[in-house]
Amino acid sequence: MDKFIIKGGNPLKGTIPISGSKNAALPLMAASLLGNSTSTIKNIPRLKDIYTFNNVIRVVGAHVDFKEDENTLTIDPTYVNHLEAPYDLVRKMRASFYMLGALVGKHGYAKVSLPGGCAWGPRPVDLHLKGMEAMGIDISLEKGYVIAKAEDKVDGGSFTLEPSSVGATVNLILAAVLKAKKFTINNAAKEPDVVQLCNFLVNMGADIDGIGTKTITIKAVDQLRGVEVSNDPDRIELGTFMIAGAMFPGSELTLTGCNPEHLGSFPDKLRKTGTSVDIEGTTIKIKAPETLKPVSIKTEVYPGFPTDLQAQWATMMTQAEGDSKVTDTVYFDRFSYVPELVRLGADMDVEKNTVKISGKTPLTGASVMSTDLRASVSLVLAAMVAENSSEVLRIYHLDRGYESLEDKLTIVGADISRVDEE
């Protein structure tokens, strides 16, 4: 198991290219199974979650070829014949649950493990299942597996997502485009990942109305064809590097291959800290202020402040001159990073779904442990501004969502080494 050893105190200067988005790529990979010929997806990041989902897709019989040096993925769904996604693969990544919509939508049957083997009830996948039932798909539960059946086209109808959910929106779209005569999703997610999926499916031949709005209406078509597409850049990686460039006085970063429109309200929030944010086309230039101003944020569904950037923002606020709050209205338990930052010297206190931060506090190197993807990268950011050396353990979380993180940060001046924990 690997860990990072990070020596802090270096301002960041230089250029970082932004990788393709994992969260946007996974729905496209599932959608490729709906076609009757090969699809090619460019700008695919080399990440653990991508490799895992490649294996899930191979298990059902599809041919998958990932040209890593070109970041290009081709998926041939012609040979899909095993309509089951097993627990040992689905448990590794919740997005594998997209196989439910893709398989029942194309083949009329799917047997997919519940993520984590969770029982039926008020859980995150409950929206997916209730939505498919509203569509007319028969849903049953058998020993930790969801079985979905719809041999013929179903009438459809409508379903309201409460709360709005990217995952459920994606799964219902995948199920409906070939199967539902007319199906409307109310309070649909509007994230760029959902928009890209819809545009990809329309290029394949799907009939989808209301793309990018809260009301998406789908009318089934008889078949979809394989197409070629370029995946969106990763807006969360982009936001993370923008925060990295703002945290340490003297830092100046140029970020290339961006889609600034996908950042929603984030750039304006960052400017309020005193950070210079200059956007020119697909390039964003960040210049850290001499004194970082405290700015409180509250996460919201897109285009509001992303929940996937709240840990990084809270870390940055430890270096701001004054008090701030970070409130997560999307996930109420996403503060596992706080005790680890406190070990480094942060002054933070969690109350329910809000962390209160008192700054500026000098951070000092220590050994800290990653607990999830975004918490992990927040510890890396903290270690880069801390005095002396820090160890960040369990960095396999980072490998799920950040392509070549230490390489990109080392090029712009960070001192990060990947070593075996043993």
Tell me whether residue 344 is annotated as binding: no
Tell me whether residue 126 is annotated as binding: yes
Distance CA 93, CA 116 (A): 9
Distance CA 155, CA 137 (A): 9
Tell me whether residue 94 is annotated as binding: yes
CA-based radius of gyration for the chain: 22
Give the type of residue at 182: K
The secondary structure of 334-377 as a DSSP string is --TTHHHHHHHT-EEEEETTEEEEE-----B--EEE--SHHHHH
Tell me whether residue 334 is annotated as binding: no
Tell me whether residue 124 is annotated as binding: yes
Tell me whether residue 197 is annotated as binding: no
Tell me whether residue 23 is annotated as binding: yes
| Burial group, residue 151, by CB count within 10 angstroms (0-12, 13-18, 19+) | exposed
Tell me whether residue 347 is annotated as binding: no
Residues 108 and 66 sit within 8 Å (Cβ to Cβ) = no
Tell me whether residue 73 is annotated as binding: no
What value, to the nearest 5°, has the Cα angle with vertex 166 and ends 162 and 171? 95
What value, to the nearest 5°, has the Cα angle with vertex 25 and ends 226 and 246? 150
> Is 258 one of the annotated active-site residues of the chain?
no
Strand partners, 7: 389, 415
Per the listing, tokens 């070593």 go with 419
User: Residues 118, 141, 155, 388: which is the catalytic one?
Assistant: 118
Contacts of 251 (CB under 8 A, 6+ apart): 11, 12, 13, 244, 245, 286, 287, 288
Residues annotated within the binding site for phosphoenolpyruvate are 22-23
Residues in binding site: 22-23, 94, 123-127, 308, 330
Which residues are known catalytic residues?
Answer: 118
Residues annotated in the binding site for UDP-N-acetyl-alpha-D-glucosamine, as ranges? 94, 123-127, 308, 330
